[in-house]
Structure 1
Amino acid sequence: MAHGRLITLEGGEGTGKSVQRDRLVDALRKAGLDVVATREPGGSPSAEAVRDLLLAHGGDWRPLSEALIHAAARSQHLAETVRPALATGRWVVSDRFSDSTRAYQGWGQGVPLETLDQLERMVVADGKPDLTLMLDVAPEVGLARAHGRGQAADRYETMDLAFHQRLRDGYRAIAAAEPERCVLIDAGGDVDSVAAAVRAAVRDRLGVPI
């Protein structure tokens, strides 16, 4: 049985990751693939239990503590959801993965990147994504979208503009350093045009007729 593929969508607040994940999953299923849609933090029963803890306003977490908690949730997510699906030939599309820890806790909050490298080697090992789609938009635009959802803002959405600019810089740096894995996608347009760019990247990189 062929091993499945792992596709991740990354980006700052309001870049449209969840919407584009769902659009991509639908396109892949129409192409005949068996696909699991998931997210981080969360994506498995035990990892979901950590999600509210991380995103709630009440937690006064040190950046390194946040990184460690994300790593613990990711370890559970991989063990309970991602690796079993891939082993049976299913494809997995995740809204966020390990690049988010590097961007948010590393570039955004100052945890040394060498420390995050060590965590990733321990938790992810050889399970890096086959393709990462970096959705890129100006922080001002992304935050306006996030705040316009009509939902209570999570703790990251309430951080200052400088933090969100660092996130964007971090994601761009990751994409530039790993061009064989990452595709930077302009997410400033409408949902349909971004979805078309996402499908084109998957088609070009992974050979899927979508």
Structure 2
Amino acid sequence: MFITFEGVEGCGKTTQLRLLKERLQARGHRVTATREPGGCPIADQMRAILLDAQNSAITPLAELLLYAAARAQHVQEVIVPALERGEVVLCDRFTDATVAYQGHGRELDLATIEQLNRLATGGLEPQLTLLIDCPVETGLSRARARIEAATGAREERFELESILFHERVRQGYLGRAAAAPQRFLVIDGSGDVAATEERVLAALSGKLSVLGEAVSVPQQAER
């Protein structure tokens, strides 16, 4: 099963992906957790270019093509082999991110983006997408705190974009979720980690029957 996590900067999707991975593994499932851009050595090199704030001169089209190239490598090297091995694949961002960020955020042509996405993935689509949603200001505040606390490379090129850019991204995500309700689960990520995890598990409880008793909802009431 191929599950993706999406959302604006600082929404908490990376943490929720990790928590779900741990829960699935504890129940005996083989899980590959990966991310975009990146996920394999070649794509990670492209990630370094894309997220480095010093590369602010990258044009929107060049940015889009770099994402597509990184995805093509990632899909063939990591995602497809894991699925063929029968593993659950959890991916931190995928094609919906390109539609939201480059399509709605950068306002590039959506039809061109969809075509590139199909080319890069070979038509592979997630079976389930968790959109962790929160106000832009909340997410950016969290993201900036994370960046300041980090000791490695400062991946902050998108965090430095305007509030209006991030609002367009958020609305792009929400519009995409509304257009594909059979695939998307929209989760309120404005609370703390525990509250968001409860909401994730409650939303997943009726969606992962293919995994049997893979997830369980905590006994405490959802906040």
Q: Normalising by structure 2, what TM-score?
A: 0.89
Deviation at 1:153, TM superposition (A): 5.7
- Residue identity opposite 2:126 in structure 1: P
Deviation at 1:205, TM superposition (A): 1.3
Find the residue that maps to 2:20 and give its secondary structure. Answer: helix
The corresponding residue for 1:131 is 128
Find the residue that maps to 2:54 and give its secondary structure. Answer: coil
Q: Does 1:63 align with 2:60?
A: yes
- Residue identity opposite 1:36 in structure 2: T
Q: Does 1:146 align with 2:146?
A: no
- Give me the whole-angstrom Cα distance separating, in 1, the residues matched to 2:52 and 2:173: 23
Find the residue that maps to 2:206 and give its secondary structure. Answer: helix
Q: Please show how residues 108-187 of structure 1 align to structure 2 within 5 Å.
A: 108-149=105-146, 150=148, 151=150, 152=154, 154-187=156-189
Paired residues of 1:130 and 1:181 also in contact (CA < 8 A): yes
Find the residue that maps to 1:205 and give its secondary structure. Answer: coil
Paired residues of 2:53 and 2:155 also in contact (CA < 8 A): no
Find the residue that maps to 2:181 and give its secondary structure. Answer: coil
The corresponding residue for 1:96 is 93
> What is the identity percentage for the equivalent residue pairs of Structure 1 and Structure 2?
43
- Give me the whole-angstrom Cα distance separating, in 2, the residues matched to 1:125 and 1:103: 20
- Give me the whole-angstrom Cα distance separating, in 2, the residues matched to 1:148 and 1:54: 20
Give structure 1 regions of 4+ aligned residues with deviation exceeding 4 angstroms. Answer: none
- Pairs aligned (count): 206
Paired residues of 1:147 and 1:153 also in contact (CA < 8 A): no
The corresponding residue for 2:208 is 206
- Cα–Cα, structure 1 residues 153 and 120, in superposed 2: closer, same or farther, change >3 Å? closer
Root-mean-square deviation (CA, aligned residues, Å) is: 1.2
Q: Does 1:49 align with 2:45?
A: yes
Gaps of 5+ in 2: 216-223
- Residue identity opposite 2:40 in structure 1: S
CA shift digits 1:120-141 (9 cap, x unpaired): 1212233100100001000011
- Residue identity opposite 1:176 in structure 2: A
